Amino acid sequence: MTNQGVLTLIAPQAIEEDLVDFFLDNEHQFGFTSFQVRGHSSRHEGMSLIEQVTGRQQRVQFQILMDESQARDVCQRLESAFANVGIRYWFLLASLEGRI
C-alpha cells in the first residue's frame, strides 16, 4: 500500500505559466489542478505597497495526487528548477481517493 496524498504548492503568479509547463512536461501521468488564491500575511517581504496595505497577495495554488516518494522527488526537482522564487508546499496523506 502506498502513502497516497495531495501535494499542494502555493506560488507567485509571475511563475504560474512556468509551473504549468513544468507539470505538463514532467508530471503528466498525474494530472493536476490549479487555481487562483490570496496569500494573507502581516510580513511585508516582497510585497508591493498595495499588498502591504491590504495584507494579501495574489498567488496560484497547484494540487497533485501522488504518493509520498513521488512528492519528495517532485519537490527536489522544483527546488532545482525554481530556487528561491517563493514557492510554499506541503503534502497531506489522503484518507480516501477514487473516481466516480
Residues 12-62 pLDDT 10s: 999 999 999 999 987 667 789 999 998 776 665 666 676 666 777 889 999
Place 96 in a pLDDT band, splitting at 50, 70 and 90.
confident
Q: Could you tell me the three cell numbers for 94?
A: 489522503
Torsion sign over Cα 53, 89, 28, 73: positive
* Domains, the chain, with CATH or none: 4-93 (3.30.70.120)
> With 0-12 CB in 10 A as exposed, 13-18 as middle and 19+ as buried, what is 78?
buried
Average pLDDT, integer, range 82-97: 93
The predicted pLDDT at position 68 comes to 94
pTM above 0.75, yes or no: yes
The predicted pLDDT at position 82 comes to 96
